[in-house]
Chains A and B, each alone.
Chain A
Amino acid sequence: MASSVSEQQGRHPEGALVREARTLWAFAVREYRIWQSYRVNQLMWLVNIFVTTLLFFLMGLMVKGKAAALIGGAYGTNYMSFIVVAIALSTFLYTNLSDPYTRIARSYYNGTMDLLLLSPMSIFTPLFGFMTKSILDDYPRLLIVGAFGVFLFGAVFRFQHILAALGFTALALAAAFGIGMISASSFYLLNIKRGTEPVRFIVQQLLATLLAGAYYPVTVLPKPLQWIACLIPHTYVFDALRRLMDPGARLTVPVLPIQQVLPWSPLVVDAVALSAMTLILLPLGFVLYGQGIEKARRNGTLTRWQ
């Protein structure tokens, strides 16, 4: 019976992985078409990136000559290089952490979740599919921020450790996506459909913004807050990428309190912390998200329109 059903519906007899990949591609094409259809949005998108980078360039002018002292030596002497790493990475991390909840909420309110879960894909595929929109919208910002920073505002980078930098970035993105999945699960699991979602608010809006050292090194914070900063992936990836890419940065001078306590080099501490977070947060995110969908199915709350 199963084969006849597949044939009737025109499904390819390929494996599940290939099918999921094709589905994701279909999502990506669709999201690109939607993104492309809002032309004014594209211009605003570019202006927004430019203004953000310009803002920090102006702040950089303010601290010109004092940057080395302010950013502590471990991260080199160029404030624009220091800040461009944070802006570019923050975009990635913000996307992975905040967008899963936003996309699930959108799907709930426009009634597409029922439809998507009727198709034979995994319950996680719609979420990944929605994230292709985020990737289209947000990931290219890295290159544009970098280009603005380098060509207009005087940021300088070194690329001899680029593979290591990419590895740290991948780990941080995975950990952030784990938190994003946990955040998205709260939509169905805790029924948080109004107001502010707590996980992403606490991690992204509070901890990452204030404590992760995006705009200033964590050493300017009181010691207890520096320890709290060590609880989120942002702190480690900012630290690692600045050491690896900013000119004049030093690989061995500890900055984070946990680096001062552990007998390893700062980069090893960063790698271990990010790996541990990924190993814990990513599976936890998947489990909680799956439970959220299951709960919504039981209670009939997959979409707003019942």
Chain B
Amino acid sequence: MTVGAPLIRLTGISKTYPAAELSLRGTKLVTQGPALWAKQLARAARLTAVSGEPVRALTDVTLAVYPGEVFGLIGPNGSGKTTLVKIVAGLLRPSTGTGEVAGVDLAQAAIIRRRVSYVSTTGWMGLEWALTAEENVRFFGLLCGMSPALARQRTLAALGDVGLVADGRKAVSELSNGMRQRVILARALLLRTPIVLLDEPTVGLDPVHRRQMLELVGETLPKRGQTVIIVDHQADAIEGIARRAAIMKDGRLVGVGTPAELLESLSGLKVVELISRGGAQPETLPPRPVRAVEQVLRPGPLGLTQWHLTVEERPDALEAALGWVLSGGGEILQVAEHAPHLADLLAAQAPDEQEAG
């Protein structure tokens, strides 16, 4: 249950990115040298029409996150999670909508940015490869106005939190990808801002460090009084630690609630995991008890396919699912059933079947 005033409140937030390409009298211009300059100048002066379609990244998102919460954002790639988090961080301006972050209006991005820590694991992660892990983290502390002594002290503590003290003196170029991710997490832990935004923080981490990281996010940060928004397209990462979560699809919130509340919408469903060998994609649509199908071809010479079927809890459901898979030929090697997880929400339900939160 949530109590008190929200720390983050967003109302009707939409974000549209402008079209990327343009044409001049229907002819696509080359993108080098003087032609590029002319193109961009013409565009800046609004002399030419934009031919590409603007990208609608978020549509009418309304959301409240409360102090001390660990709040999960779940959704497939391209569903608008990162855009939403960047708006909360003050790095992006919404196209429409209003909101407050830590008591500050969204329009005052400069103040908001002092109250959030943001971790993104995309690209180079903002790390300087030639410097050590310790130098990278400490530099960020200095940028944020810490004294050198405090920056050093907090850096060591943050590296300790992410299990990197022993490797702190190594250049980032010498670290594994997972260790680099832990460096940027350490950077986010440095400031102890009221709000911590973590965008896919566990991607690329090995299981042990992934678990440690989730424990840190789920336990240590709330104990420090920090509110966390954690973004992941792997819902199981969030299911274990988030007090509440939102499901995003196509730029919309399609469900908000505690993991248990969200899973209620899957009551009456179960998940059947199959591994098959040989055969082809069935030519018919799946029968009624099968609500969603995900299939992954496993690499290798054995021709194995992994099936993830969300089916209704009915006595004939398993038989119907197996029959449908076998209609494509081949043989079933392994069958397992389990209750659905948050990730199954994305596969099982179309966005228009759910209520926005």
* A interface residues with partner B (beta carbon < 8 Å): 1, 5-6, 8-12, 19, 22-23, 26, 30, 33-34, 37-38, 110-112, 114-121, 186, 189-192, 194-196, 198, 297-300, 302-306
Report the interface size class on chain B: 35 or more
Stretch at the interface among B29-37, B249-257, B264-272, B274-282: B29-37
Q: A117-B113, A118-B113, A189-B44 are in contact. Are A111 and B122 (CB under 8 A)?
A: yes
Evaluate contact between A120 and B126: CB separation under 8 angstroms. Answer: no
Among the stretches B86-94, B296-304, B333-341, the one at the interface with A is B86-94
Provided the pairs A111-B125, A297-B109 are in contact, do residues A192 and B32 lie with their beta carbons within 8 angstroms?
no
Q: Which residues of B contact A (CB under 8 A)?
A: 15, 17-18, 31-34, 36-37, 40-41, 43-44, 57, 82-83, 86, 89-93, 102-103, 109-110, 113-118, 120, 122-126, 128, 130-131, 135, 139-147, 150-151, 154, 171, 191-194
B122's partner among A116, A121, A189, A306 (CB-CB below 8 A) is A306
Asked if B144 and A111 make an inter-chain contact with CB atoms under 8 angstroms apart, the answer reads no
**CB-nearest residue of chain B to A114:** B91
Inter-subunit contact A192/B37 (CB<8 Å): yes
Chain A residues near B144 (CB-CB < 8 A)? 9, 11, 119-120
A306 near B82: Cβ-Cβ < 8 Å: yes
A7's nearest neighbour on chain B, judged by CB, is B192
Contact A34 B128 (CB under 8 A): yes
User: Which residue of B has the minimal Cβ distance to A123?
Assistant: B110
What chain B residues lie within 8 Å of A306 (beta carbons)? 82-83, 122
Q: With A33-B130, A115-B126, A120-B145 in contact, is A305–B93 under 8 Å at CB?
A: no
With contact pairs A189-B44, A194-B31, A302-B91 given, residues A114 and B116 touching in the complex (Cβ less than 8 Å) = no
Of all chain B residues, the one with the shortest Cβ separation from A195 is B32
> Which of A38, A110, A302 has most B Cβ within 10 Å?
A110
Contact status B131-A34, CB under 8 Å? yes
Tell whether A9 pairs with B191 under 8 Å between CB atoms, given A110-B126, A111-B123: yes
Which residues of B sit under 8 angstroms from A195, Cβ to Cβ?
A: 31-33, 36
In the complex, which residue of chain A has the Cβ closest to the Cβ of B33? A195
In the bound complex, how far is the Cα of B93 from the Cα of A16, in angstroms? 25
Known contacts A11-B146, A190-B41, A192-B36; A299 and B17 CB within 8 A of each other: yes
Task: Report how far A198 CA is from B128 CA in the complex, Å.
Answer: 29
Q: What 6 pairs between A and B have smallest CB-CB spacing?
A: A305-B123, A111-B123, A115-B126, A26-B142, A11-B145, A305-B122
CA separation between A195 and B40, bound complex, in Å?
12
Distance to closest chain A CB from B149 (angstroms): 10
Least distance between B153 CB and chain A CB atoms (Å): 9
Assess whether B82 is in contact with A297, with CB atoms less than 8 Å apart. Answer: no
For the complex, give the distance between the alpha carbons of A34 and B110 in Å.
29
A34, A117, A119: the one within 8 Å of B140 (CB):
A119
| Beyond A22-B142, A297-B91, A297-B109, 9 extra complex contacts between A and B, CB < 8 Å | A23-B142, A111-B120, A111-B126, A112-B126, A117-B91, A194-B31, A196-B32, A298-B93, A305-B123
